[in-house]
Amino acid sequence: MNPLRTAVVGAGKMGALHARVYSRLPESRLTAVVDTDAARARSLAEQYGCEALTDPKDLIGRVDAVTISAPTAAHFSLAELFLKHRIPVLIEKPLASNVEEGRRIVRLAQQTQTVVAVGHSERCNPVVQAMKRLEIEPRFIEADRVSPYPFRSADVGVVLDIMIHDIDIILSLARSPVRQVEAVGVNVIGDHEDICNARLVFENGCIANITASRLALKTERKVRAFSRQAYLSVDYFRKEGIVIKTDPNIDVIKWIREHQEAGDFDFSQVKWTELLHIEHLDITESEPLRVEQEAFLRAVLEPGKRPEVTAEEGLAALECADMILQKVREHKWNP
């Protein structure tokens, strides 16, 4: 099978990453890089031996799949251009700059029966992939994603910039519609919120607490999940995690109860971690962006295959983010 002719629209930091991966995949032949800044497009194109363009319309008829890594405000117009010509697109997160544009992208994808993937690359993090294999049914999820100011994405706040990663992952874990949202956010540097905390209540009873900040002194990306099957604690940044499963610890509970009833044991001497059945997550090392692009190209090449994050899932994350932002705007600081 011949490789797909691919292109990247947007030659900024994320566009450069996408171009690098496309240039190395056997399923892809990087054909062009497009950017309104001709010098930037030319610099990236020279690096990977492809054509430099400034007008995305010039790609029509010359490519089989496109990644859109332009600023969020341009996502809809670019997606519309390619979908109307039935060219599959991978759109960097968030799907669009607002919910209505996101819904229009989903409708276009359905009407034209064209693959749309959304670049929630954290879903392709090896730790998240390992979490998915556990197939837990969480009842409570706590996620923290904080970092120093990234000096990018100044056109959006912390919710659409980084919290949306955890929104997407939590929606995929909870597998239930959101029933209630509470949120508070603060803008410190610019016009958009730089710190936000949100609490989501799902129709199935699951509750999620999410914190995101781009004003921290260090980078942390952690999530904890409580379920009937296990307690799970993972660190996306360090790419590690532990699982404490319920069933193997039943004997521990029985042992504790027996000694409590007999009153013959000094529990202050117990090393709690030695009693628990703790497993380290089985994490397969892989580059998230490569996993994301491979799934996208596979969905284009093979009918019935789906990208890692579909347009519908990207829209669900955007709708949830919009609810959070609405609550941030409504929050009253003074009685």
Coil, strand, or helix at residue 148? coil
**For residue 272, pLDDT beyond 80:** no
> From start to end of 93-216, where are the E strands?
116-119, 138-146, 178-186, 195-202, 207-213
Please state, in angstroms and as integers, the Cα–Cα distance from residue 218 to each residue in 148, 171, 210, following that order. 6, 26, 18
Look up residue 329 and give its two tokens: 């705007």
In tens, the pLDDT along 255-271 reads: 677 767 777 666 666 66
C-beta separation of 42 from 14 below 8 A: no
Distance CA 232, CA 225 (A): 5
Could you state, in order of their start, the residue ranges of all structural domains in the chain?
A: 4-120+288-309, 241-282
In tens, the pLDDT along 298-321 reads: 999 999 999 999 999 999 999 999
Confidence class for position 252, pLDDT limits 50, 70, 90:
low
- 127: closest CA among 6, 1, 255, 238? 238
Is the domain 4-120+288-309 a CATH 3.40.50.720 member? yes
Look up residue 232 and give its two tokens: 């799970």
In tens, the pLDDT along 114-160 reads: 999 999 999 998 888 888 888 889 999 999 999 998 776 667 789 99
